[in-house]
């Protein structure tokens, strides 16, 4: 009985290690347009409170930003500014929810929102969660998501988001 209790405690600890993490670090982003093969490299700083406050400020190109403040999504990407209410614009709502759930370690909800299945592997000190759509991807959703965490501290080190329209964004967190 003691052995089973210890195993359950260890499992619970491993799950909470990957949940509700906050981030305050630099990142690089590589955007690949699959149709044209064109890639764009960007860099910046990300701050995430573990809930619904996210700020990505870009240093390359300087002036770009992507901010989630509760239900509001504000962005200036490649000179195009927008401020959208995620409750009113469903596509933005799904992307907002997926991003926040992935960053906070709630990949089960991200999978459910995107009509996807998960596969979890561990190797070389890393835990990788693959989220792949089972069929039709919801409008604005992701075809696939891959999250990589360090096993030692549960910190997210890499996030790959593949949009249904053929855009692949890879974020490497420092």
In this predicted model, which residue has the larger pLDDT, 139 or 24? 24
Residue-range definition of the domain harbouring residue 85: 20-173
The answer to the question of residue 155 being in a domain is yes
Question: Is 14 contained in some domain?
Answer: no
Any idea what the CATH number is for the domain that residue 166 is in?
A: 2.50.20.10
3 domain residue, yes or no: no
pLDDT in tens, 88-126: 999 999 999 999 999 988 999 999 998 999 999 999 999
Window from 17-21, 117-121, 134-138, 165-169 with minimum mean pLDDT:
17-21
Q: Which residue has the higher pLDDT, 159 or 141?
A: 159
4 is a domain residue: no
- Total of domains in the chain: 1
The CA distance from 1 to 90, in Å, is 48
Residue 11 included in any domain: no
Q: Does residue 1 form part of some domain? A: no
- The Cα–Cα gap between 111 and 118 comes to 7
Best-predicted range by mean pLDDT (8-22, 39-53, 128-142): 39-53
- Tell me, yes or no, whether 141 lies in a domain: yes
Number of Cβ within a 10 Å radius of residue 76: 17
Residue 76 lies in a domain: yes
């Amino acid at each position: 009985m003691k052995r089973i209790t210890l195993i359950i405690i260890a499992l619970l600890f491993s799950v909470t290690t990957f949940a509700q993490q906050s981030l305050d670090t630099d990142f690089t982003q590589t955007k690949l347009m699959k149709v044209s093969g064109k890639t764009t490299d960007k860099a910046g700083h990300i701050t995430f409170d573990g809930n619904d406050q996210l700020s990505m400020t870009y240093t390359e190109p300087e002036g770009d930003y992507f901010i989630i403040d509760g239900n509001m999504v504000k962005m200036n990407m490649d000179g195009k500014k927008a401020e959208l209410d995620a409750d009113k614009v469903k596509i933005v709502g799904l992307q907002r929810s997926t991003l926040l759930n992935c960053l906070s370690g709630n990949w089960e909800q991200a999978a459910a929102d995107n009509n996807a299945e998960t596969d979890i592997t561990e190797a070389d000190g890393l835990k990788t969660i693959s989220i792949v759509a089972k069929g039709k991807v919801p409008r604005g959703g992701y075809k696939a998501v891959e999250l990589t965490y360090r096993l030692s501290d549960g910190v997210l080190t890499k996030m790959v988001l593949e949009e249904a329209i053929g855009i692949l964004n890879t974020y490497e967190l420092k």
